[in-house]
Amino acid sequence: MMQQLALALLLFVAAYVVDLNWPREALLSSAVVGGSFVAVLALVIGIVWCRLAKHSPDSLPTFFMAVSSFRLLLALLVMLIYYLTTTGATMMTFFLVFMAFYLVALVHHTVFFARVSNRS
pTM: 0.86
Instruction: Say if residue 118's pLDDT is above 80.
Output: no
Question: Phi and psi of 87, rounded to 5°?
Answer: -90, 170
Instruction: Say if residue 23's pLDDT is above 80.
Output: no
Contact indicator for 81, 95 with CB cutoff of 8 Å: no
Distance from C-alpha of 1 to C-alpha of 47, rounded to nearest angstrom: 9
> Which residues have C-beta within 8 Å of that of residue 30, sequence separation ≥ 6?
15, 90, 93, 94, 96, 97, 98
Distance from C-alpha of 71 to C-alpha of 110, rounded to nearest angstrom: 12
Instruction: Say if residue 120's pLDDT is above 70.
Output: no
Contact indicator for 9, 73 with CB cutoff of 8 Å: no
| pLDDT tens digit sequence for 87-117 | 777 888 899 999 999 999 999 888 888 887 7
Instruction: Say if residue 75's pLDDT is above 90.
Output: yes
Distance from C-alpha of 2 to C-alpha of 15, rounded to nearest angstrom: 20
R_g over Cα of the chain: 16
Instruction: Tell me the mean pLDDT in the region 18-29.
Output: 82
Instruction: Tell me the mean pLDDT in the region 16-41.
Output: 88
Contact indicator for 4, 108 with CB cutoff of 8 Å: yes
Q: What is the mean pLDDT of the chain?
A: 88
Looking at residue 64, its pLDDT comes to 86
